């Protein structure tokens, strides 16, 4: 019998190696898998490359991993917010590497990995520093129908950590509104995906037409208690 539910976050993350590239869902604080990030902090893996839309809020979640010195590099589209002081300090002191990627390109690079696409051309970033590789060399460019494009490569993950709304023992998942964000494409782009769910469904209860992420892309599911999403990254 296939049953992808595991007893704890610790069990789900026990085999996470040092040096892993980890795709972490979330947009601001919406859809951030807080329990999984906390579990990763306790698990002890280090020298990590994190892929997320942001670079952490306050001193919890991604920021806690950064503050603990567990992150070598972060790939994101929106690193600086009013409460991203942990990342700011580490980046300015040279303790963490940043690869800045426009948000649409970030999503498409992740999606390309899951779809088996070797790369793609995008107009965003042409003529700017964003058209350079992390080592400073220029990315390939090409003129297509009179417009210049930059060649972008897929972002693959060793592990994806995502927050879903509901799931069954086969790993089929649904998401709630904006909490969906990067979760489905990250699940497709990683060798292993761990998802938290607020609701456990019996096999067959979920209408196949409502399933966003099929279980074939999910290796472990952890049931967690529902908590309210806290605002972050803004100043009232």
- At 136-159, the pLDDT tens digits run 999 999 999 999 999 999 999 999
Which tens digits make up the pLDDT trace of 83-123?
889 999 999 999 999 999 999 999 999 999 999 999 999 99
For residue 228, pLDDT beyond 80: no
Banded pLDDT at 168 (limits 50, 70, 90): very high
Burial class from Cβ neighbours inside 10 Å (0-12, 13-18, 19+) for residue 122 reads middle
> What is the pLDDT at residue 231?
57
Strand pairing category for 141-144 and 147-152: antiparallel
Domain ranges in the chain with CATH number 3.40.1080.10: 9-117+156-223
What's the CATH fold of domain 9-117+156-223?
Glutaconate Coenzyme A-transferase (3.40.1080)
Residues 206 and 173: beta-carbon distance below 8 Å: no
Backbone φ and ψ for 68, nearest 5 degrees, come out as: -80, 0
Identify the bridge partners of residue 162 per DSSP, sorted by sequence position. Answer: 195
What is the C-alpha R_g of the chain? 18
What's the CA gap between 200 and 211, in Å, rounded? 14
Residue 220 tokens read as 């472990």
Q: What is the pLDDT of residue 29?
A: 81
């Amino acid at each position: 019998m296939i049953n992808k539910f595991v007893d704890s976050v610790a069990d789900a993350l026990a085999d996470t190696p040092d040096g892993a590239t980890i795709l972490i869902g979330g947009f601001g604080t919406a859809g951030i898998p807080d329990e999984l990030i906390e579990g990763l902090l306790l698990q002890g893996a280090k020298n990590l490359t994190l892929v997320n839309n942001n670079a952490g809020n306050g001193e919890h979640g991604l920021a806690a991993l950064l503050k603990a010195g567990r992150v070598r590099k972060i790939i994101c589209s929106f690193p600086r917010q009013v409460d991203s002081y942990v990342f700011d300090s580490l980046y300015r002191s040279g303790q963490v590497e940043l690869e800045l990627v426009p948000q649409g390109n970030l999503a498409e690079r992740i999606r390309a990995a899951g779809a088996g696409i070797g790369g793609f051309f995008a107009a965003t970033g042409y003529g700017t520093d964003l058209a350079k590789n992390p080592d400073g060399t220029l990315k390939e460019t090409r003129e297509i129908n009179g417009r210049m494009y930059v060649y972008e490569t897929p972002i693959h993950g060793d592990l994806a950590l995502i927050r879903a709304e509901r799931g069954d023992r086969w790993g089929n998942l649904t998401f709630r509104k904006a909490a969906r964000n990067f979760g489905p494409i990250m699940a497709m782009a990683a060798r292993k995906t761990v998802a938290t769910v607020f609701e456990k469904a019996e096999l067959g209860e979920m209408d196949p037409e409502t399933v966003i992420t099929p279980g074939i892309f999910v290796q472990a599911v952890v049931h967690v208690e529902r908590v309210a999403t806290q605002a972050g990254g803004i100043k009232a």
